A and B are shown apart, each in its own frame.
Chain A
Amino acid sequence: MDALANLSNGLMSALSLEMLLVCFIGVLVGQVTGVLPGIGPTGAMAILLPLSFGMDPGAGLIMLAGIYYGSMYGGSITSILVNLPGEAASLVTTLDGYKMARKGRAGAALSIAAIGSWVAGTLAIVGLMFFAPILANAALAFGAPEFFALGLFGLIVLSNLTGGSFGKSFLMVIIGLMISTVGVDLVTGEDRLTFGVMELSKGFDLVPVVMGLFGLAEIFSVALTPYTSSNMIKVKMKEMYPNKQETKRSIWPILRGTLVGFPMGLLPGPAGFMSTLISYRLEKKMSRHPEEFGKGAIEGVAGPESANNAASTSAMIPFLALGFPFSPPTALLLGGLLVHGITPGPMFISQHGDLFWLVVASMYIGNVMLLILNLPLVGVFASLTKVPIKILMPTITGIMFIGAYSINNSIFDLWIMLVFGLVGFIMKYCDYEPAPLVVGLVLGAVFEEGLRQGLIMTEGNFLMFFERPITATLLGIAIVIVLWNIFKKALPFKKASASNEQEEKEEDITIKTS
């Protein structure tokens, strides 16, 4: 009952004109960035982060969160109409969504994607509302060793789930942690790895690093090989609704997609994309018509689109309840809150309950706004892909540099952005993922503090970490994952699962080539 009372208070605040406006701006920008290929939610949030500094913390958080979950809606439009995913989490939708559009069922695919996204988003907010306070209460009992173990567990799971090589992802995590050690040591006050550069004393700021790795790197890639938009399939208003059979076939995939996406969002890594892959495979296995998949099955749109929305919402749970952002977009939300002197963590909901419930309430409203925006205005958003590169690229580059400068009034930050832009650009060609580096950089401080304080508490006996149940469980899982990745090639049952792997590989190839 407390939750409902708090939610109604949150709704009262969220329905004020100012909050409605920032929520609308957030979801609209998210929707647009979801549509435009190249600018993902992370880049858009990084660009608009400075704007949130002038707002109060609630408004800033509402706008940034709106961009994040709004982009999940927008991504499906171009996947279905143009066969061009606006962002990674909509890649799977191209498989059946575009095929449906070519069969003249674009409207049905778009409306099922929008309705599925809305249902999943709303159910995931209900989950967020109930699970985040429970998790935060449980985390109040956490000490330094638990935070260290949670950080290590998160980083190892992230390395394992990123999709590429475990070794490469883990190396990126290590590099992220290395970068986080630059600056003044909080325990001794000693300068570390600053080489006498004043600006490095405060360490690397998250925003220029993220803007470089995700925004500028993409701009460099487009400069090297500009993309061309394919012909867009036009959709009429009267064709916007699914027929009875399509609706019936979509109900269970939407619910299953929500159930798949929600727990995925709690894990570190590219939850949106991974949840769509799992949901797609699950739907194909459970379908009475698996042969229709890849040729325009509505389940192949309904499941993955619901899954990525549920995942993006539940990703807010570890961030708000534990202060652990497990993905670059939530890391930017953390950056936005820290500027206002608010630190998410176990105490966040009890100390800033009004802010938490305001954000939850605004997410309900934002999801309704997105549903309304998506159904009648699909054509308008899809036509954004027609904006020529010669206008888009200079505009985005200009905004990025002005935005990054305004955070600390520092040209040094802009150089950092340029360097990381170049690093991110090179990483693309060597199959290194930038997300583990960013999460390593963000979690570095908590990780080091937990390790050092934990060692002081246990008088240098690391084995005593294993005497604490939560720490032992998390460290145990992390060790098993590392050992599994080292020794899996030597295991005898590898050949037995070869056919399954082959099938999954074929699906991955289809996704990549589409």
Chain B
Amino acid sequence: MNKKLITNISNAGLFLFCVLYLFFSFKMSIGSPEMPGPGFLPITLGVIGSLLSLGLLIKGAGIGTKEMKEKIDDFSKQGVLRFASYFLSIVLFLLFYKTIGLPMLFLLVFSLAKISGFRGWVYPILFAGIFTTLVYLLLTFLQIPFPSGIL
């Protein structure tokens, strides 16, 4: 993937974010200089942010330096797959952590261990089991709350 492309997409994303922020800020009262309302700072920030991000977007689109034309080598097929699996494991953990509780932590650590390179089943299960047990004991000892879930 090209660095320029990523930079342009993120600059466009930031511009969109600033414009949306400004749009919603206008729904608040700006007040007056003597008595600034809740929208005073958000509108000011929205205007500055939109102009600045637009400037960066235009500047970024025009730049053709050697550095910007560089390809980023990090995005190998294997790497992207590993990243996507990491992300998906975390999303599943967040969706079910409240209902299932600590067993979900076991599943998260187990899946991340497998994705990170553990071979076979015994060692990752053992690793995730020991980790979850230690966390459970530590949280109980320090009286730090965690979702009880199905336990």
Contact = CB atoms under 8 A, between A and B. Distances in A.
B91 interface: yes
B33 A460 contact: yes
Nearest to A391: B127
10 contacts: A174-B49, A192-B39, A223-B79, A390-B117, A394-B116, A394-B128, A397-B112, A402-B105, A406-B145, A460-B32
Given A171-B49, A185-B38, A462-B33, A409 B86 contact: no
Given A405-B146, A409-B145, A223 B83 contact: yes
Interface of A: 50-51, 53-54, 167-168, 170-171, 174-175, 177-178, 181, 185, 187-188, 190, 192-193, 219-221, 223-226, 388-391, 393-395, 397-399, 401-402, 405-406, 409, 411, 414-415, 418, 422, 426-427, 429-432, 448, 451-452, 455-456, 459-462
Given A394-B112, A398-B105, A406-B139, A171 B90 contact: no
Contacts of A170: 52
Contacts of B16: none
Given A393-B116, A394-B112, A431 B7 contact: yes
Contacts of A181: 41-42, 45
B90 A393 contact: no
A16 to B, nearest CB: 20
A333 B135 CA distance: 24
B144 A398 contact: no
A225 B10 CA distance: 21
Contacts of A462: 33
Contacts of B24: 193
B14 A171 contact: yes
Given A167-B52, A220-B87, A187 B146 contact: no
A187 B94 CA distance: 35
Given A224-B80, A418-B90, A455-B33, A390 B118 contact: yes
**Chain A binding surface, main DSSP class:** helix
The CB with the most chain B CB atoms within 10 A, among A170, A175, A411, is that of A175
Q: Is chain B's interface secondary structure helix, strand, loop, or mixed overall?
A: helix
Interface string B4-42: 001100110010011001001100100011111111111
A220 B83 contact: yes
Nearest to A221: B74
A460 B147 CA distance: 50
Contacts of A168: 56
B33 to A, nearest CB: 3
Contacts of A226: 116
Interface of B: 3, 6-7, 10-11, 14, 17-18, 21, 24-25, 28, 32-42, 45-46, 48-49, 52-53, 55-56, 59, 72, 74-76, 79-80, 82-83, 86-87, 90-91, 93-94, 97-98, 105, 108-109, 112-113, 115-118, 127-128, 131-132, 135, 139, 142-147
Contacts of B144: 50-51, 53-54, 406
Contact of B38 (A50, A192, A461): A192
Contacts of B45: 174, 177-178, 181
Contacts of B83: 220, 223-224
Given A178-B46, A401-B93, A455 B6 contact: no
Contacts of B36: 451-452, 455-456
A448 B93 CA distance: 37
Nearest to A175: B49
Contacts of A391: 113, 127
A427 B113 CA distance: 26
B146 A397 contact: no
Contacts of B3: 429
B94 A426 contact: no
Contact of B55 (A53, A167, A220, A398): A167
A193 B75 CA distance: 36
Which 4 pairs of residues, A with B, have the shortest CB-CB distance?
A: A460-B33, A394-B112, A460-B34, A185-B38
Which of A178, A394, A399, A462 lies at the interface centre, i.e. has the most chain B CB atoms within 10 A of its CB? A394
A393 B82 CA distance: 12
B139 A388 contact: no
Contacts of A54: 142-144
B105 A389 contact: no
A393 B74 contact: no
A175 B11 CA distance: 13
B90 A397 contact: yes
B146 A178 contact: no
Contact of B117 (A225, A388, A397): A388
A398 B108 CA distance: 7
Contact of A394 (B46, B49, B127, B142): B127
Nearest to A177: B45
Nearest to B144: A406
A204 to B, nearest CB: 14
A220 B86 contact: yes
Contacts of A171: 14, 49, 52-53, 56
A461 to B, nearest CB: 8
A405 B97 contact: yes
Contacts of A389: 116-117
A188 B28 CA distance: 11
Given A390-B118, A429-B6, 4 more contacts: A171-B53, A187-B38, A390-B116, A401-B93
Contacts of A401: 90, 93, 97, 105, 108
Given A167-B56, A397-B112, A432-B10, A455 B90 contact: no
B38 A190 contact: yes
A501 to B, nearest CB: 16
